[in-house]
Amino acid sequence: MAYRGSQRFVRRIRPTRFGAGRRGGAGILRLLPVAAFAIYFLWFYASNREEVPLTGRMQLVDMSQEQEMALGLQSYREILSQERVVGQGEAVDAVRGVGQRIAAVSEDPGFNWEFNLIDSEQVNAFALPGGKVAIYSGILPVAANIDGLAVIMGHEIAHAIARHGAERMAHQKLVQFGSMAAGMAVSDMDMQTRRMVMGALGAGAQVGILLPFSRSHESEADYMGLIFVARACFDPREAPLLWQRMGEASGGKSTAEFMSTHPSHETRIRQFEEWMPAALEVRERHCSR
């Protein structure tokens, strides 16, 4: 009797235990992609760290400089083929002369520098990996003088030297892999809930990771560019004045800083003023002879 009673007891509880095991196993399986991503992240971060010249910051870069330069050259050629590139003239000579002068005193890793002027009303400039820089003619009135132009070009040269483009690609890769892992972890949710969760994660990654890194890159390029400008014997004191003019050119309109890829004009002016004593000391040391 005891034996048969035990058998009946086992039969009664067996389905319950089996169901709980399935639910627990499914929960563990859902967490596996997240755990795998965490392990990958730790390996990726430890294996792909480099030091930014001048600032000493450790950055995350997972491609060789040769790969980065090839991508930069390809993109540069594509952009220039779609724009009106100014071939000659006083403004072109100024852009190329200032660029070469700053690159010569920078932490140049051996780039094949190119500086071009694009005929456009855009108040903008950009740098691509490998030392490919372009200035839009619309920014020249805001630059106002040769020192203002030097501040703009020093900033763009710094972006290339600091490998910010490659670093952004590494960050985006991690965010993409993290999103894939999260998507697998919530795959058993209903469609509406899954969309809400993934939307929240995407917004969090953008506001909490990608945008802050972008702003930090801009500030790092501002600092490095200011030091390069001082080394090249331009006047670094033009930097905060340039950003005052940038603010005036934008009509005072700006996106809230936490939602922007760039620091606000006010933040940049304040930072330049903080860095100015060091920049002037560098200029005195390099240019007093």
pLDDT exceeds 50 at position 285? yes
What tens digit of pLDDT does each residue of 129-156 get?
A: 999 999 999 999 999 999 999 999 999 9
| Contact in structure between 229 and 102 (CB atoms under 8 Å) | yes
105, part of any domain: yes
Whether 179 and 237 have beta carbons less than 8 Å apart is answered as: no
For residue 231, the number of C-alpha atoms closer than 13 Å in the C-beta half-sphere is: 17
| Structural domain that includes position 237 | 58-167+210-287
CA 141 to mean position of chain CA atoms: 27
Averaged over 220-231, what is the pLDDT? 98
Q: Give the predicted TM-score (pTM) of the model.
A: 0.78
How does the average pLDDT of the chain come out, rounded?
83
Q: Is a pLDDT exceeding 80 seen at residue 280? A: yes
Catalytic residues: 156
* 47 occurs within a structural domain: no
CA distances from residue 74 to 82, 84, 253 in whole angstroms, order as listed: 13, 18, 34
| Residue at 229: amino acid letter | V
Q: Given a cut of 90, is residue 10 above it in pLDDT?
A: no
Whether 280 maps to a domain, the answer reads yes
Contact 115, 169 (CB under 8 A): no
Please indicate, yes or no, if residue 28 is contained in any of the structural domains: no
- The pLDDT value given to residue 172: 83
Residue 192 placed within a domain = no
pLDDT at 46: 75
Q: Is residue 141 part of a domain?
A: yes
- Residue 4: pLDDT band (50, 70, 90) is very low
Q: Say if 128 falls within a structural domain.
A: yes
End-to-end C-alpha distance for the chain, whole angstroms: 107
Is residue 11 pLDDT above 60, yes or no?
no
Q: Which of 6-10, 83-87, 272-276 has the lowest mean pLDDT?
A: 6-10
Q: What is the mean pLDDT of residues 64-93?
A: 96
Q: Is residue 150 a contact partner of residue 106, using CB atoms and an 8 Å limit?
A: no
Residue 13: what pLDDT? 40
Q: Give the pLDDT score at 19.
A: 46
For the chain, the domain total comes to 1
Domain contains 191: no
Beta sheet of 125-128, edge-to-edge order? 85-86, 114-118, 132-136, 125-128
- What digits encode the pLDDT tens for the residues 152-178? 999 999 999 999 999 998 888 877 766
pLDDT of 192: 77
**pLDDT tens column, 200-219:** 655 565 555 566 668 999 99
Q: Residue 113 pLDDT > 60, yes or no?
A: yes
